[in-house]
Amino acid sequence: MTSSPLTHLTRNARLDHFYIDGKWQPPQGSERAAVVAPATEERVCEIALGNAADVDQAVQAARRAIPAWAATSPLERAALLGRVHALLLERSELFAQALTLEMGAPISYARTAHVPLAAEHLRVARDNLADYPFIRPRGTTAIVREPIGVCALITPWNWPIYQITAKVGPALAAGCTVVLKPSELSPLSALLFAEIVHEAGVPAGVFNLVNGSGAEVGAALSAHPQVDMISITGSTRAGVLVAQAAAVTVKRVAQELGGKSPNLVLPDADLERAIPPGVAAALRNMGQSCSAPTRLIVPRAALARVHELALATLAQMKVGDPNDAATTHGPLANRAQFLRVQQMIEAGLQDGARLLAGGPGRPDGLAQGYYARPTIFSEVHTDMVIAQEEIFGPVLAILPYDTVEEAIAIANDTVYGLGAHVQGRDKDQVRAVAARIQSGQVHLNYPAWDPQAPFGGYKQSGNGREYGVEGMEEYMEVKAILGYYA
């Protein structure tokens, strides 16, 4: 039987160590931080927090490992990724329990989404190495792709292991070495990941992990002169701070930041097929997804039916103990996010949006834990706070429109451009509308998730791309060798 992640990590003395240069090492400072279970608000353990000295130690290890790792063949790198992939699947239950404990993911959702989708990023990185042309001809010139070098990877608390594999997989595939800084709010799954990377046989220094805050470890990584690239997933504010610190050393910065994604339902759409999945997508993971389609843009003439379908979908959701297999929605991941969601719900009420369901406070019967009420506002105007600011919680805004031109304008009336959805029967119209939406991804009629589809933002949602071949190429430099084929 699988032991609990906390028991496992405590027994193996991982909570107060970092993984640097192929081994678990104690921190150079004494600062600690509590890990709080969002379902109970109880402190479940403490982890060590790193400082600039820990960061330098990890970066130097990654720098030493670069020549040998970059010289390995794609076949060797693919084999390592394959072993990490197999170990993640083998220990999937341990990872699922860690996610439920550290960020409140319902155990059923951790098992069916968080962990298997994370594993897919490793599989894709492995498989893309099979036939990727690191050298390709262009006339008599060779276009060569080479690893950029030492990469600092900063990952968030909302999809902890998913975002780790989305960065580590392609970075290692490209031949880079990495220093990972996971969120200090959800660090347990990251420590488990370091274990399986070690057991898979990663050479010393190729993968390193330092826990710590953004202000300390994140800033030190961003400014370090021997870090060649930073990849961050987080808030737009955090992305700006990282870019500012990185600018001094002119390192590459890839950012996957905030979102306020539209879901545009065209007049000919089948509402029974368009609305329920849209509500579910907006509130999935308690709305803690940067690409969640939290602006549902619908024909004004269909508003009454949209309300009926949205409320019926909401009624099927169960907010509660994330360890209960019947729970569909657990708590928000931390106290700060709980307070943020409450503030934004109040802003919606103050701006005069129509409250269809939910509202401030916790759901009935849940007096403890960072539980929020899944909330739907309707008759929202695009200039309202809840239509413009990223809430990162279970709050859906329904915005009515009168013409398709107006609907497209509403969809693009945001500083963000990460994800978008379009629903409709006429394929030509759906495609034409998708072409006019300013967003890095557009989903037409709820397609299956595609781990090969590049993911990233327009505008303040960031720059660069993750997933698929494009995600691997972010970690490469391009060299032109003229006369190579002369």
Phi-psi domain of 468 (left: phi exceeds 0; alpha: psi -120 through 50; beta: other)? left
Beta strand segments in 335-381, E: 354-357, 375-378
Which of 351, 182, 370 minimizes the C-alpha distance to 287? 370
Inter-helix orientation angle 303-315/271-283, to 10°: 50
Three-state secondary-structure class, residue 54: helix
Confirm if 361 and 408 have CB atoms less than 8 A apart.
Answer: no
Phi (first) and psi of residue 209, to 5 degrees: -135, 130
| 290 carries an active-site annotation | yes
Contact assessment for residue 232 and residue 239, using Cβ atoms and an 8 Å cutoff:
yes
Residue 466, strand partner residues: 455
CB distance 27 to 48 below 8 Å: yes
In whole angstroms, what is the distance from residue 483 CA to residue 300 CA? Answer: 62
Residue 398: beta bridge partners?
Answer: 296
- C-alpha to C-alpha distances, 366 to 28, 97, 360, 369, 401, nearest whole angstrom: 41, 21, 13, 7, 37
Q: Are strands 395-401 and 375-378 parallel, antiparallel or unpaired?
A: parallel
Of 474, 26, 111, 182, whose CA–CA distance to 325 is shortest?
A: 111
Which listed residue (195, 256, 466, 473) is catalytic?
A: 256
The catalytic position among 45, 151, 176, 290 is 290
Question: DSSP secondary structure string, 205-256?
Answer: TTEEE----IIIIIHHHHH-TT--EEEEES-HHHHHHHHHHHHTTT-EEEEE
* Secondary-structure percent of the chain, ordered helix, strand, coil, rounded to 5: 40, 20, 40
- Closest to 25 measured CA to CA, from 51, 57, 52: 57
CA separation for the pair 434, 215 (Å, rounded):
38
Alpha-carbon span 260 to 386, nearest angstrom: 10
CA atoms of 246 and 150, how far apart (whole Å):
14
Helix (H, G, I), strand (E, B) or coil at 64: helix
Residue whose token pair is 């996971």: 182
Q: What Rg, from alpha-carbon coordinates, does the chain have?
A: 23
User: Can you tell me which residue has the tokens 């933002």?
Assistant: 457
3-state SS class at 361: coil
The residues annotated as belonging to the active site are: 256, 290
